[in-house]
Amino acid sequence: MSSIDLIYRYLKAREKINDTYGALAAIIEVNKDENGISGIEAVEIDKPDVKRTQSILDYTSLNSCFLNIDDRFVLLYPAIEREKYMQIQPFLAYGDKLIEYPGMTYSEASEMKEFMDVAGVKYKSKIDSDGKVGFIVAKDDEEMIKEMIKAISEEQNTEEGYKYFVSKNICWANAINQASIAISGNFTTYIGKEGGSGGIVIREDGAVLMTPNKSGEFIPRSDKDFKEKVINAVLQDLNGENTPVKAFFGDFADIISNDMKKQDIDKPALTLKDALEILQLDGLPSVDELDEMFGNIDEYEADEKRAFYAIARMVMCRTQKLDGFDEYKLSKAEKSTYSALHQEYVDKFTNAEAELVGYKDILSSKENKIMEGVNNER
C-alpha cells in the first residue's frame, strides 16, 4: 500500500475527531484518477528537518502543505507538480549544508544568476514582498559565491556599472508596477516597448501580445498562470527588465491597440520600416500630425489602418518619458565599457575550476554528495 493510501486511511479514521482530518482525506480522495491512483504525493520529513524544508519550499512555486500526524511530519504536494519537487530535492539532500543570501536588488540578482549559471553552481531563488531577491546554495559553493559578490561590488564601483545597476532596477520596478496595474485594473491597458515596436494590451477577457518577426499570442484571463505570463511578457518580450516600457490606460489604450485583438494574433507586429512604407511616410509624424491623420482614419484601407495604429504606438511610446531614468541611461560608449568589464568576470567564473584554489575538487565531488544524500533518504 502506498504512503498516500496509508495517510488517507489514517485521516479518514479520525475525521470524526477533527474536521481538518476529514477535509484532508477528502482532498486526497477527489484527486484520484480514473484508476483510483491519488493525484497527491506524500514525503515523510524528519522532525529536525521540517523548519529547513519549509525554508527551502519558500524558494519554489510548489503547492504543498505539511501534516503533523502524531509528531510525524508529511509533506503533501500535487502529483502533477512532481517536477517542481524534484528540482528542490537535491537541496533537501544537502541537509544543513545550505547558505542563504538574501536582500539583493533585481539587477544584482540578475548578475549573480549569470555568474552562477556559467560556473555550474546550483541555486534556488525567490523574490520577497519588498522586491528583494534571495538565493540558497550549497555551503560547498561559499567561496565561489563570495568571489561573485565581490565581482558585483567591483562592477558597481565603476561609473558605468553604477548607472547600469540603477537603471536596470528602475526599469524592472516600472515594468512590474505597470503590469500589476494592468492585471488588477478593470480598464484597458496598453504596455509598449521603449520604442513602441511591440506591446501587450490587457483587457477584460485577457491579454494580446504582439511583437515584430513572430505571430502574436492571446493569454486568456482564465489561464491559471495569467498574472505570471503577463509579467514575463512585459519583462522578457518587451525587454522591460532592461529598458523602460510605456503604459497607456482607458479609452486611449483602446484606440492605439485597435488592431491588437484576439483575431489579429496570426500576424506579427509591423516594423517601423514596414509601417512607414505602407503609409508612404519618410519618418515618424509629430503628435499633432498623428492627431490629424486619425481624423481621416475612416478613409484608410485595412492595411493602412494597421500601419497607422503601429505608427501611433511608436510615436506615443517615444514621446512618453520615465521619470528618473535618463539620469542613469548608458550611452553606447558606456554600454560597451561596461559590457567589456562584465565579460571579464563572466569568463573568470566560466573557468572557475582553474582559478579558485581547491574548487576543482569541490565541483568534481558535488554530484556524488548529492546522490549519496538522495540514496540515503530513499
pLDDT tens for each residue of 215-270 = 999 999 999 899 999 999 999 999 999 999 999 999 999 999 999 999 999 989 99
Q: Is residue 235 part of a domain?
A: yes
Q: Do 299 and 283 share a structural domain?
A: yes
User: Do 236 and 195 share a structural domain?
Assistant: yes
Model confidence band, residue 377 (pLDDT cutoffs 50, 70, 90) = very low
Q: Is residue 197 part of a domain?
A: yes
Q: Return the pLDDT at 360.
A: 40
Neighbouring CB atoms inside 10 A of 343's CB total: 11
Please state the domain count of the chain.
Answer: 3
Looking at the fold, whether 267 and 312 belong to one and the same domain comes out as: yes
CATH of the domain at 145: 3.30.70.1530
Residue 338 exposed, middle or buried by CB count within 10 Å (0-12, 13-18, 19+): buried
- In a domain, residue 348? The reply is no
Q: What band does 38 get if pLDDT is binned at 50, 70 and 90?
A: low
Average pLDDT score over the chain: 85
Q: Are 131 and 202 in a shared domain?
A: no
pLDDT of residue 21: 67
Mean pLDDT, to the nearest integer, of 76-88?
Answer: 78
Tens digits of per-residue pLDDT, 15-30? Answer: 777 666 676 677 667 6
At 93-113, the pLDDT tens digits run 666 578 889 899 999 999 999
Nearest C-alpha neighbor of 155 from the set 165, 146, 147, 145:
165
What pLDDT is recorded for position 36?
56
Of 55, 71, 94, the domain-final residue: 94
Q: Note whether 145 and 228 are same-domain residues.
A: no
Is residue 376 a part of any domain in this protein? Answer: no
Residues 267 and 309 in one domain: yes
Place of cell 525587454: 239
How far apart are alpha carbons 233 and 303 in whole angstroms?
A: 26
Domain, as residue range, for 112: 97-157
Residue 353 lies in a domain: no
- Whether the pLDDT of residue 364 is over 60: the answer is no
